[in-house]
Structure 1
Amino acid sequence: MITENVTSEATLHQELEVLSVSKRLVRSLSQKLKRKNQEDETSGVSLRCPTMYTRGGGCKVSATTNEEFCEMGCQRRSSSSVEEGKPYKPICGPDDTNVDCFSYGVKERFRKRSIRKVPEAEGVVDVFLPDDIVEMCLVRLPLTSLMKARLVCKKWRNLTTAPRFLQLRRNGLFQSPWMFLFGSVKDGFCSREIHAYDVSFNKWHKINSDVIKGRFLFSVVSIQENVYIIGGFSSLNNFGRLDRSSVKTHKGVLVFSPLTNSWHKVASMKHARSKPVLGVYEVNSDSLTIKSQHSRDRRLVRTRVGGVSDVYEDPHRLSVRRQLRYSFDETEASFKPKNENPSRKDSRRFLIMAAGGVGSWDEPLDSCEIYDSLTNKWTEIQRLPVDFGVICSGTFCNGMFYGYSETDNLAAYNIERGYWVRIHSTSLPARVHEYHPKIISCENRLFMVSVSWCEGDGQIGRRNKAVRKIWELDLVYFNWEEISTHPDAPMDWNAMFVGDKNMIFGVEMFKIFGQVLDFMTMFNVSNVRKKWVHVSKNRVAHELDASSCVTKTVAFVHL
């Protein structure tokens, strides 16, 4: 019994000590709170409450108000304080004391933050914006501001690179046109630099990428916010040097995403080629069927004359080889995938057509292929028509791919029916054959930019001069009509012209007096005045080699 009484007295003594310690802690804490509240009254510190913090997260912002306020989650001041006219203070106290606060039975813990002193007439309220509001703000930023915003935090970077964000930016019409110039050469080496031009702000930017270093004479085409780099050469002897003595011809395809500054690969072409003629067509139906030509069936193809094989009359099979490319023994292949993914029903579908180009042995190619963005596959189609010549330009217009050759032949490929159609125009414009014409499509209209000789303004002794003219093709009667003349002299025989909505952009680079110059012009096909406008002059090319004039290529993207 004595032992039990001693033990109970010791336990009671320990509990009393603990209770006294807790009372001292509570007393000291209350005193600190009182002193802190008195300081807040004199310094005008903002009042915050737990309900200002959203449960779903968000980003902290600051707003200045004329009156200090608190949401309904904070406990209201008592009636006695109202009668005495005391200033209102939340029962939870300041948020930098790291104490527990109870509001309607919900326990909230405040984090320590630095408090900024403001004048007494102003108050600062720190709140957290929901993610959807932050997304609505970021989606309206220009591309350069958006790139800087991604450096703020990981949350903003992940938010602005998500597919949902890219779709909102595309559907909200917040994009602006950008031009990307590829194929620059410095000190004899293929540069990794990509020059981007913001048309809205009239400013050039430089992007470095090691992926395309050492690659030259490739073709580019844009699909939505991505740029496809197709084919090209790369030197085998000295990586990165512009050398045609020993090169590798590529059939791979790279995709560059300027919004995320990332690269990835897609399916490779059937044939390796450099500088192929490209065209992009948006497909509205997933059940599109096209004619495809399989290489395994070529040896069984009969000739078009009499339908009898002439192998015995031609031991070297030369005539058979010639007729293989124009065979009618073709099979139908559908681009519709067998197992369609329901999540991709709303995605837009595009086709890329690659025609011609230069092969591995520097031979001109007449083969054609089509890439489907939905199935990620290339399909070989019918070759160019007989005696068409080397194709030098092409584009899609009203669902038809129009190709123009160096020998002034025009043909159109019908994707649904799978064959080429020769187009004979009655008023073919005369041109200088050293300059290959470029055909462009704008607003379902087909244009061609070519160089022609112009008389010397009717004055005696004046020489004829070469000028660039833009022609439009009547798609009903197939007549060419001149609509405008370019103001500059055609100094660049490899000038690039790209169509974008109702605009035609031209990029020229040439070397004169030991310096490489560049000019960028713009033409509005809907404008009644029909005049070219100078956009940029001598901003990029003076740092590049003269070889850039040959290797350059241009793509237009809305970002």
Structure 2
Amino acid sequence: MMSPERSSAEESIWQDLEVLAVSKRLARSVSQKLKKKNVKSDEEDAKGVSLNCLNLYGRGGGCKVGAEMGEDFGDRRRSSASEEGKGLKTICGIDETTVECFSYGVRERFWKKNNRKYLELEESVRNSRMHIFLPDDILEMCLVRLPLASLMTARLVCKKWKHLTTTQRFLQMRREGLYQNPWLFLFGAVKDGCSSGEIHAYDVSQDHWSRIESDVLKGRFMFSVMSIHEEVYIVGGRSTLTNNYGRMGSSVKTHKGILVFSPLARSWRKIASMRHARSMPIVGVSEVSSDFPTLPSHQNRQERRFHRSRIGGVSDVYEDPHRLSVRRQLRFSADESEASYLTVKKHQRLTRQMNGINSKRFVLIAIGGIGSVDEPLDSGEIYDSATNAWAEIQRLPLDFGVVCSGVICNGIFYAYSENDKLAGYDIERGFWIGIQTSPIPPRVHDFYPKLVCCKHRLFMLSVSWCEGDGQIGRRNKAVRKLWELDLMYLTWTEVSVHPDAPMDWNATFVADRNLLFGVEMFKIFGQVLDFFTVFDVAKDETTWRHVSRNQMTHELDASSCINKTVALLHL
């Protein structure tokens, strides 16, 4: 007879074999039924989890299926029948629900390997989860460090990125974090004899040119530009009128309107127009404090054209030295201007509140230029960003001549005339001062000097003759020199010599921070050439270096050399 222990062991073995056979039959039948059923819903397919598995997992059952179906059931199968039954019993149990879970897992593993759409869907879901949980402040910190070209591309990703990168907070972070690079914007391109309106932008750090289409500037020429606060201001100019048949006529219109171009937002807007139409005016822009005198104070001084001079740092007032007439004029006009003063103050306060606390106040000055009937102008106007209004300023000094260049430096608007005279307009006090310097830098008559301000230092570029470097029999040549004015002793000092020959009589020079850029365009042998050079005033070196040569002028006409104007921004 067999022992009772052995009989019980054999009985348990037979029971396990019966269960294994039943589980195989159930698995075979369930798999056949699943083949006839439709595919599960999209949500279950994306998650890869069956409802039965979730119920078992929630009640603490033995199902090991993860949320992403990361475990492969095929790896858990054993080679022998006993190991397969043991694995089946360990993983899913022995009831019908467990068998269904096992069959569904095997089927889905096969389905995932052979379905590319599921793999693409799973990849997109994984990528979307990465962006959903990224905080806005971290996203701003990443986007603020991008170069301008990459930032423009990032704005096309979604509306959220576009909104984050156009707020005032984002622009302030970019400005204060010193993530900006110098950009040169060239205006005044002429093609086929007409102003095309194209803007050529040059990234100095990346050595890359970009072209911006602008319908606003089509047909407009002889305007001046000035940049401040990541924006470019287009002042005055002319445009050719068209007749009733749509053809270009011979008459021209002189503008007094101001256009504002924002490269970061790729947008255009208008501000208040000037009081007089001007083409090719001399413009300057400068930031001012919140307590800057309002426009009526400048308007009261516009008729005072005293001969003021400054020699060696001493100011003398000829004609009415005690300013008695001025006191009488101010006494009679005090009551009239008080009401307008309070109105401007109230409007200024409301405008500052609307623009925000971080908005900086600035003034824009336009003097000289050519009027509507081609007459040279000696008048000037000033624009206040706090009030969005223009006011006339005191006219240029008598016998000053036609102004050809000007720049704002340390609160003074310096203007240079064709008669080699220098004058300064005190922006805060509102009057002109004649400045006598020594020695006057020599220059060639056809090349007008250009004033630039760089790091609170006043420079002038002029073309003069060089006497063959002291060698006998060597021909003289024209060179472009950089001069600096000592603001204390009013003396000019030669700083450096430009390496290129002065082929462009309308060369443009712009400066910002420590960098001084020169843009020259000229036509030679039937081709328009361009040269971009830069000079760093902070370094001890007195040499210029080329940053770009002949990159974008092969499509432009020779008229672009005369019509060109350049603005410099850090973006």
TM-score, normalization by structure 1: 0.73
Larger helix percent: 2
Provide the residue aligned with 1:548 in structure 2: 560
Corresponding residue for residue 346 of structure 2? 338
User: Which whole-Å CA distance do the structure 1 matches of 2:390 and 2:411 have between them?
Assistant: 19
Separation in 1, partners of 2:494, 2:249? 39
Q: Aligned in 2, Cα 1:242/1:32: closer, same or farther, shift over 3 Å?
A: closer
Check if 1:270 corresponds to 2:248.
no
Match 1:151 to one of 152, 156, 164: 156
1:116 maps to which residue? 119
- 2:285 aligned partner, one-letter code: V
Structure 1 residues 162 and 401: alpha-carbon distance in aligned structure 2, compared to 1, 3 A threshold: same
When the two chains are superposed, the root-mean-square deviation of aligned CA atoms in Å is 3.6
Instruction: Give the structure 2 partner of residue 366 of structure 1.
Output: 378
Which residue is 1:70 aligned to?
none
Helix, strand or coil at the partner of 2:404: strand
After superposition, the Cα gap between the structure-2 partners of 1:158 and 1:427, relative to the gap in structure 1 and judged at 3 Å, is: same
1:170-249 to 2 correspondences below 5 Å: 170-237=175-242, 245-249=250-254
Task: Pick one of 468, 485, 490 that aligns with 2:497.
Answer: 485
Asked if the contact 2:242/2:249 (under 8 Å) is kept, the reply is no
- Deviation per CA, 1:157-206: give whole Å up to 9, x if none: 23323333323322332221111000010010111211000111001100
With over 3 angstroms needed to count, the CA separation of the structure-2 counterparts of 1:243 and 1:87, relative to structure 1, is closer
Partner of 1:497: 509
Q: For 1:466 and 1:250, how far apart are their aligned partners in 2?
A: 37
Instruction: From the two aligned structures, give the one with the greater strand fraction.
Output: 1
Aligned: 1:536 with 2:543? no
Which whole-Å CA distance do the structure 1 matches of 2:227 and 2:248 have between them? 28
Distance between the aligned counterparts of 2:150 and 2:68, measured in 1?
40
Cα distance in 1 for residues equivalent to 2:219 and 2:42:
66
Residue 515 of structure 1 and its aligned partner are, at CA, apart by: 0.5
Which residue of structure 2 lines up, in the alignment, with residue 378 of structure 1? Answer: 390
Query: Conserved in 2, the CA contact under 8 Å of 1:225 and 1:259?
Result: yes
Match of 1:86 in 2: 64
Give the TM-score of the pair, scaled to structure 2.
Answer: 0.72
Q: Secondary structure at 1:246's aligned position in 2?
A: strand
Whole-Å Cα distance in 2 between the matches of residues 463 and 439 of structure 1? 29
3-state SS of paired residue (1:522): strand
Q: What letter is aligned with 2:232?
A: V
Partners in 2 of 1:400 and 1:125 — Cα distance?
A: 56
SS in 2 for 1:148: helix
SS of the equivalent of 2:408 reads strand
Paired amino acid for 2:555: E
| Equivalent in the alignment of 2:432 | 420
Secondary structure of 2:475's aligned partner: coil
Alignment correspondent of 2:420:
408
Q: Distance in 1 between matches of 2:224 and 2:232?
A: 10
Write the distance in 2 (CA, Å) between the matches of 1:501 and 1:513.
Answer: 37
In 2, Cα distance between equivalents of 1:284 and 1:138: 31
SS of corresponding position for 1:481: strand
Change (3 A) 1:369 1:85: same
CA distance in 2 between counterparts of 1:85 and 1:243 reads: 82
Cα deviations by residue, 1:132-161 (Å, 9 ceiling, x for unpaired): 333332222211112112222233223323
Aligned residues of 2:48 and 2:68 also touching (Cα < 8 A): no
List aligned pairs for 1:452-463, cutoff 5 A: 452-463=464-475
CA, structure 1 residues 116+247, in 2 after alignment: closer, same or farther (shift >3 Å)?
same
| Structure 1 residue 412, shift from structure 2 partner | 0.8
Distance across 2 between alignment mates of 1:75 and 1:368: 83
Q: Which blocks of at least 5 consecutive residues in structure 1 are unaligned?
A: 1-27, 48-73, 92-112, 306-325
Change (3 A) 1:532 1:334: farther
Give secondary structure in 1 for the equivalent of 2:152: helix
- Distance change >3 Å, CA 89–CA 243, structure 1 → 2: closer
Residue range with higher mean Cα deviation, 134-143 or 179-188 = 134-143
Q: Which has more radius of gyration? A: 2
Q: Check whether the contact 1:77–1:89 (CA below 8 A) recurs between aligned residues.
A: no
CA deviation digits over 1:50-81, x for unaligned, max 9? xxxxxxxxxxxxxxxxxxxxxxxx99966955
- Secondary structure of residue in 2 paired with 1:534: strand
Q: Residues 35, 244 of structure 1: CA spacing in aligned structure 2 closer, same or farther, 3 A cutoff? A: closer
Q: Deviations over 1:278-308 (max 9, x none)?
A: 111101223434642369x97xx9x989xxx
**In the aligned structure 2, how far is the partner of 1:270 from the partner of 1:446?**
30
CA distance 1:33–1:524, shift in 2 (3 Å): same
| 1:77–1:90 contact (8 Å) kept in structure 2 | no
Task: Indicate the percent of aligned positions where both proteins have the same amino acid.
Answer: 58
Measured in 1, the distance between the counterparts of 2:247 and 2:437 equals 40
